[in-house]
Amino acid sequence: MTDRALTVVRAGALTTVQDLGRPGHAHLGVPRSGALDAPAAALVNRLVGNAPGAAVLETTLGGCDLRPRSAVAVAVGGAPCAVRVDGRPAPWGAPVRVPAGALLSVGPAVSGVRGYVAVSGGVVVEAVLGSRSTDLLSGLGPPPLADGTVLPLGRPSAPPARVDVAPQPAPPAELVLRVTPGPRDDWFTEAAVRTLTTRVYRVSATSNRIGLRTEGPPLERARTGELPSEGVVLGAVQVPPDGGPVVFLADHPTTGGYPVIAVTDSADLPAAAQARPGTPVRFVPVRRR
């Protein structure tokens, strides 16, 4: 077996393989998937000399431990955390050389939710519909990592970047989501639309890669009855019967049967990926571009 591989010693709470995702297949019922914090994933790839589309590991809160079979360059970014190589402190947000057989420990997130681990050459698990991303909704791509999983690596195409540390945005203390009116805002009362854009919500602990769920004042419908299932997009703010807004993220379904009251600006979604449960959320109305 090739020495260009990585053994997962500790998988953590939820660690998956992610790249740029598989957009363009919604008409087939396939979600886009991909890294939730795409800028963080792109940055760690750049730091180790990978192409932007190389597959990385996305960790959730608890980090992971990895052991490469050959010397590799690694960069850890996204949610700030402690990084160690064979027990010795190593920099976060900068390229690090990890010798063959050494243990790379990516610690629990100090703040934020999702960390990103790029390895020189990228993770080269089998691609499905042009992407190596794990999709938790459809089950496409590799399953979430488990202890003992062996991940093949590609050959490095460029040397690591020469930086000491790369600036990265801090996880949000308050999540501000700019929204435009959704296609079904008329299913809600004027008071509900006003509530959405003037009251403070909080990130729910039930949030996941499919959607950021919120807790706060319920939104009252102006219409009763059922809505036929229809297409939904990344960032759609869907409102289920309990009245709590749900912001669709990368693994969202391609169709939904609940009304969409608003649509979030895609530029604000990376911050949503790093918002911890309890983080205040404000929906700010903007004009359509």
Overall average pLDDT of the 257-272 stretch: 96
- Helix ranges (H only) for 10-71 are 38-47
- Residue 190: other Cβ atoms inside 10 A: 11
DSSP annotation string for 201-217? EEE-TT--SSEEEEESS
Q: What is the pLDDT of residues 213-257, one digit of tens each?
A: 999 999 999 998 888 999 999 999 999 999 999 999 999 999 999
Residues 6 or more apart whose Cβ sits within 8 Å of residue 89 = 82, 83
**Whole-angstrom Cα Rg for the chain:** 20
Q: How much is the pLDDT for 262?
A: 97
56-60 and 114-119 strand pairing: antiparallel
Map out the domains of the chain as residue ranges: 5-152, 175-285
- Report how far residue 114's alpha carbon sits from residue 208's, in angstroms, rounded to the nearest whole number: 11
Number of residues written out for the chain: 289
Q: What is the pLDDT of residues 187-200, one digit of tens each?
A: 999 999 999 999 99
Q: Which CATH class is domain 175-285?
A: mainly beta
> Residue 288: is its pLDDT beyond 80?
no
> Residue 121: is its pLDDT beyond 80?
yes
Percent of the chain with pLDDT over 90: 86
